[in-house]
Amino acid sequence: MASVRRDVEFRSGDDTVRGWLYTPDEGDGPFPCIVMAGGWCYVKELVQPHYAELFAEAGLAALLFDYRNFGESDGPRRQHIDPVWQIEDYKNAISFAETLAEVDADRIGAWGLSYSGGHVLIVAAIDPRPAFAISTIPVVDGFQTMRRCHGEPGFARLNRMILEDRRQRFAGKAGGYMAMSTDKPNEIMSAWPFPHVFEGFRKIQQEEAPRHEHRNTIESVENLTHYIVAPYCRRIVETPVLMTLAAGDNITSADLEAEAFNAITNPNKQFASIGGIDHMSIYTNREHLGKVAAVQAKWLHGVLAR
């Protein structure tokens, strides 16, 4: 079964958000729908279409979108990441999906990857509508994640940069930007100081996501250090949840992810750690991507059959 894709757009706040709707090209709708958005500095072309196509093969629709400030969507401050805004974009995407003739409004769920893997858990906690939530290699504690990724000296440098940027903004100056990642972490300050992340995203940008910009506001990282998911998870009492981890992940941390998972109140939850893959290979290796999507599609069929 192949998929059909069409352009869509909807309002979120004062801005227009743009995306794609994937539907199976066979079978009778309306279809269950997966609302999807990406992680740090993602655009919709980055990795997610491969998941959407695999989900369409399994008989599911998928709504992909660019957050405000990114890609084809509007937004007043390009490359600025505000998790509150992004979570609101998810909720508005669900509202839009409810209006579509191709979509079964009672079977709309949320899917997220990395940073958005945390977002969908928050959406499931604060919005009663999702029929399911799939959280993939999620960032669930921004402070601890940044501290671990940068190490003590690097984290101290990062905090000095954040404070200087805050002082500049308080003085009425524009906030600054920094690299998303770099191949020279000892020379260039970045949000994610891993050369393999830089190389992986450069390859993806060249091959399929030219709208991706490999930079973010410094304030985006400040927002990340305030971000924590586990307290919200205690409010997930009815929504089924699948959390999918990469066994070899060295960016997000399994102990933090497990803490958030254990806080989910609903017993209808599954924790799947997939061996032989890591955080970046889910992006750059189609076989690894397929392994993750297969686990998720199988779980979805069980949840939606109930």
Q: Which domain holds residue 181?
A: 145-219
Q: How many whole angstroms separate alpha carbon 19 and alpha carbon 37? A: 9
Q: How many whole angstroms separate alpha carbon 8 and alpha carbon 20? A: 5
Give the count of domains, the chain: 2
237 and 126 belong to one structural domain? yes
176 and 135 belong to one structural domain? no
Give the CA-trace dihedral at 277, 281, 283, 285, to 10 degrees.
Answer: -100
201 and 295 belong to one structural domain? no
132 and 151 belong to one structural domain? no
22 and 125 belong to one structural domain? yes
Among 112, 22, 18, 114, residue whose Cα is nearest residue 68: 18
147-164: pLDDT as tens digits: 999 999 999 999 999 999
Q: What is the mean pLDDT of residues 290-305?
A: 91
188 and 65 belong to one structural domain? no
Residues 34 and 55 sit within 8 Å (Cβ to Cβ): yes
243-296: pLDDT as tens digits: 999 988 889 999 999 999 999 999 999 999 998 898 989 888 989 999 999 999
Tell me how far the alpha carbon of residue 237 is from its chain's centroid. 22
pLDDT the model gives residue 305: 82
Domain final position from 219, 251, 267: 219
Q: How many whole angstroms separate alpha carbon 300 and alpha carbon 55? A: 10
Supply the pTM of this predicted model: 0.96
